[in-house]
Structure 1
Amino acid sequence: MGNYAVVATCALNQWALDFEGNYARIVKSCELAKAAGAKLRVGPELEITGYGCQDHFLEGDTLLHAWESLAKLLQEEACQGLLVDVGMPVAHRNVRYNCRVLILNGKILLIRPKLHLADDGNYREPRWFSAWQHKRQVEDYILPRMLQKITGQMSVPFGDGVISTRDTCVGVEMCEEMFTPDCPHIDMSLNGVEVFTNSSGSHHELRKLQTRVRLITEATLKCGGVYLYANQQGCDGDRLYYDGCAMVVVNGRVVGQGTQFSLNDVEIVTAVVDLEEVRSFRGANRSRSEQAARAPSYPRVHADISLSADHGEFNLSLRPSPTLEAHFDLPEKEISMGPALWLWDYLRRCGMRGFFLPLSGGLDSGSVACIVYSMCRELVCTARTGNEQVILDIRRVTGEPLDGDYVPTDARELCGTATLACSRILHTCYMGTKYSSDATRGRAKRLAEAIGCYHIDINIDSVVTSVHTLFETVTGRRPVFASQGGTSAENLALQNVQARLRMVLAYVFAQLLPWCRNRTGSLLVLGSANVDESLRGYLTKYDCSSADINPIGSISKVDLRRFLGYAEESFGLGILQEFVEATPSAELIPLASGVREQSDEEEMGMTYEELSIFGRLRKLERCGPFSMFSKLTHLWPDRAPEQVAEKVKRFFFYYAVNRHKLTTLTPAYHAEAYSPDDNRFDLRPFLYPTTWSRQFARIDQALRTLLGEKNGTEEEQETIKDCDASH
């Protein structure tokens, strides 16, 4: 019985540079941990400052305020009698490190810097921090004078050490370190560390949680041990949403799992673990024991605390936590939750009054409307539990008195109502022209009615005509569409005028609708361009895809269709089937005789399913034109090689031509690893040689080989030889 220990990990909704709010949430998590009987509390990465401070980490003020928060924590009652693992940036010998600070009873035990930094995808940690290079070594760190006065310590250990309590040994592994081949938990486990803490800032991507859980369980399944995983939760300042899901794992078994998506700013996961079970698990593996016997030692810092009850103290109510089946949401549900809660964090923290969405009657804008409705559903459910923070935020956003009694009871009522005077969070607008169909207008109206938002239907032909007239007055020429005998330049310009005017009108309505009902503030304009259209550049620069934020900017059309199918059933919105079945169409041109509708896929020359494949090969497989062609000839064995070559060339031509558009993409929720988000996640130039002469020549040569034709011209052969030499 004396080997049973209560441990606590957490998910916190921290916000970059919100030092007071972050501090309050840390304290709350410590209070909850102690109330559960825990002696060890683990928090997310860089929780004192917020993970997403980015270049603010280079400012001395950020480090100063972090130390001020730590000074308060050391004196906080909630932290006494509790081994607290908290994260903050620390400068040692004028070098900045991403650190964990382990404190106990007003003293700093150890400052442990991160060994391996995240430097790919969304992460640029080496821009702000350096990795600790001295494995299994610690140095003296001279504390700031304000900390010396509080702790009575002039210096503390700084480096790659572990904590020895009276009954076990605790080691730190930080986020990226778990994802690297040389994981610290392996060496620590061989040196007798039994409890591992992992403080993470791991963002949500569709289908990513399975990878994270697999890594944690496999680590302890191989090495044995108790693994406490903490994570950031919510939007802490940019495109990422951190999806929480704090966990406790013992010897490969999940014994505690938090929610992946939550409106709670503080969530604690506790578990009762048997330390003797770890020792038994390891002792049964003889080869592990042989490796451990010759493993190098870690510097140990002694902590005067026991995680488990003292021997002889029996508590029949304390039982080891049972094994749980790890829970994973379907991607469709992840879309309904992640972007929705990201929108709420953004809305409640930016001080705006709600959202404005150009609702076209198509799948993309319909998906955005459903995501906002999903947000309202989650808010109502959480408000029913009495969550004071959520209720207060709802009142602030909707303009209700903060000390009033308004608590939403219905998602449709919170999303909006039938009258402008009472509309709340979501406002939608169908901006039609003479080329718009009754089908899209009707779908937009019926969806707005189904989710309860305030909806307006306007015709913008007069505004479009005024622009045409102005141009004709200035130039003396009036452009016409291709179907009326116009050139491709005329045809494109006339479509873009309509699209860009919708963006202008969206901002006019977003800024003035609250004024119309005598309320202060304005609305956030929501974008609705999906990841595939952005990748292909199949959108008008500064059209209604240009907005304040975009919840679907890195979600594929394929996944959005699945999401609407899920929302139709889960939300009881039968109208969504019409959106799924409708042909995606811009509805910007007069149609030629016999043509029923303008089709996005026909105009692009590729399907959305194909675009998803191109996107993954380009980003995840790092394919240029030739390697993409090579892979696709095997992935698409039922297609003629010349058709594959044509598709690849067409994709890369339009990708190059339209790459500049990605520099102006609306900030979007990051949900896919093949997102083309410029200069954040996808670091590529925006001026390309659109002919791709060397690349396409290699494709042509391979195509002739596949078709059994003779070799190409001497010039083409020289091109291939040069390319081979470069390899």
Structure 2
Amino acid sequence: MYDLIRVAAAVPNLAVADTTYNTEEIISLIKEASAKGVKVLVFPELCISAYTCADLFFQSPLLNACVSSLANIIDKTQTVDMVIAVSLPIACDNQTFNCTVVLNKGKILGIVPKTYLPNYNEFYEERWFSSSADLVSKEITLCGQTVPIGNDLIFTSQNVPNLSIGIEICEDLWAPIPPSSYLAMGGATVILNPSASNELATKHEYRRSLVSHQSANTISAYIYASASVGESTQDLVFSGHSMICENGSLFKESKRFSKERQLIVADVDLEQLANDRKKNTTFMAHKKAFGLPYFRTIYFEIEKTINDTLERNIIRKPFVPKDDHKLNERCSDIFNIQLSGLAKRFVHTHAKSLVIGISGGLDSTLALLVAAKACDYIGVSRKSIIGVTMPGFGTTDRTYNNAVNLMNALGITTKEISIKAASLQHFKDIDHNVNIHNVTYENTQARERTQILMDLANKENGLVVGTGDLSELALGWATYNGDHMSMYGVNSGVPKTLVRVLVNYVAISGNLDEASKTILLDILDTPVSPELLPPDKNGEINQKTEDIVGPYELHDFFLYYIVRFGFSPGKIMYFAENAFADVYSKEIILKWLKNFYRRFFNQQFKRSCLPDGPKVGTINLSPRGDWRMPSDAIGKIWIDEVEKL
């Protein structure tokens, strides 16, 4: 469903050279995987015999027993709708090869021999095996089936879009250019690695990094299954360390040194991988520069199924890391990108001041914090920042006091310029009834504020620092040529869910005094609002943005999957229902998804003329950078699909 395919790495509890026991373990794990809806399954290297048989690999009884066990596995899996990779030693061309055999519904699809044989330190594989480079035959007969053999095989589904499987074996991954690099450029989106990697102190960390990085380099799903503690411990110990990674992200990892057999399962997103490859135009550049080997394509079919559960962690806030260490590192990086961008622009323009409208809300607070640190960075006084609070008809005491107190706490130059009189005069000039609180009433105030900031910047040889964020730009939640406009938009690449996190990061770890910290925490606790409508009877905010356009955590979720991966409305809805199952009903999610698509298409004209601002993450809506969309594009295809959900 939605190009998700369920994959698994199996770690059987093996016995060295006991092919009967090992085969029973393998068949049992296949049944378990089938019950879990797995469609692609990989076992460790030489799992039928065990990896540590050493000179027993010279014994014909062992090689014959392995083939008999393979025949048994084939017989027992004729009705299993799954691609299964098992490994065994195979005699061919007067040599023995360390091979992985790919099975599907009782048929051998193909055989892939190992290419790089380790023959250093504790490894002596060249004593027993030959490399795939020494192979002469293109086909062999095995278990009564004539099948292709070679390291040039890619197994491609005829009915599941973007499912193509490549095989490399253990040491192949450790080569300077692993076979999986070529397999991926040849079309493989899923890489299986049957492995027998022994344990040494800290080796698992390097192994994890290697698998993760190769999945990123190849923009693939990488399923790595390694030999368990059942291997011989005569000189080495194996831990069963297995992993499932997708494009650099670790999805699942087995428990090392477990006495029990293990099966790790994950749903990988083939569409996401395919879209990333198309977007990354250097992915296929190697072909032009150095050429690619020829690959034989082996076709198979598996049934498309819809699983009751999703074996994939769909993060509610994709812009915000869950790990505290990564979160702090991410916040530090983003904050430094923002302040460096602003500092460069400040110096380049020979401006004497930075002019910022301070509302007491999240966005202007973050912009002010960035400006203050930018001044510290280039060694100019914070007094060169002119913070302007501009009370209007909707300004509450809470936001006004927070704005004034924060500016004072940061030691900047402050100004207060009310927009009420100017707005009333403008209403009179255009013959607008002040009691009609419509878009004219609201936008007049927003544009009056921008005019003040621009004119003040002219007067003070200043640079107007924009405060609008990425989420607002996606929704068009800005007044055209009002708060939409500035001379440098420091928040233009920061989504709302991350703005909140950044302000909290500065409050907690920004070396601020207690008074400034208290102000920031209260700002974080204040409802998001443009404050363009009069307060309620209690003097509280009467215009809450998320009541009007919807929850920002939903909109940031939609934005991420629409722009980053180009997913369909149906797939985004499916992911959102999984991510927010205990927060929002299907009806609520669908309501705001419709609103997002409608606004995203209708408001592109605002994004087509954005001021400069720094990109801080994988998504940006600058017309000069990541997002180039016609302002008059029609969203009918997307809206029609949403209406059918």
- TM-score if structure 2 supplies the norm length? 0.48
- TM-score if structure 1 supplies the norm length? 0.42
Larger radius of gyration: 2
